[in-house]
Amino acid sequence: MKLRNVLIVTKDIERAKAFYHDLFGLEMVLNNDGNMILTEGCAVL
């Protein structure tokens, strides 16, 4: 079994984006009106 996708719900999307960038080096691939997809298949909503 593999972990493929993670959904995270947050009130402060910019803070979450900075957190995951600083901690794991994830970059934004797509920003669709507050729904973001980060590198490595992580999604932050």
Q: Which residue has the tokens 């402060």?
A: 12
Rounded-to-10 torsion of CA 9, 15, 16, 18: 160
Domain boundaries, given as residue ranges, for the chain: 6-44
pLDDT digits (tens, 9 = 90+) for 12-42: 988 988 998 898 888 888 888 878 888 864 4
This prediction has a pTM of 0.66
Q: How sure is the predictor about 44, in pLDDT bands with cuts at 50, 70 and 90?
A: low
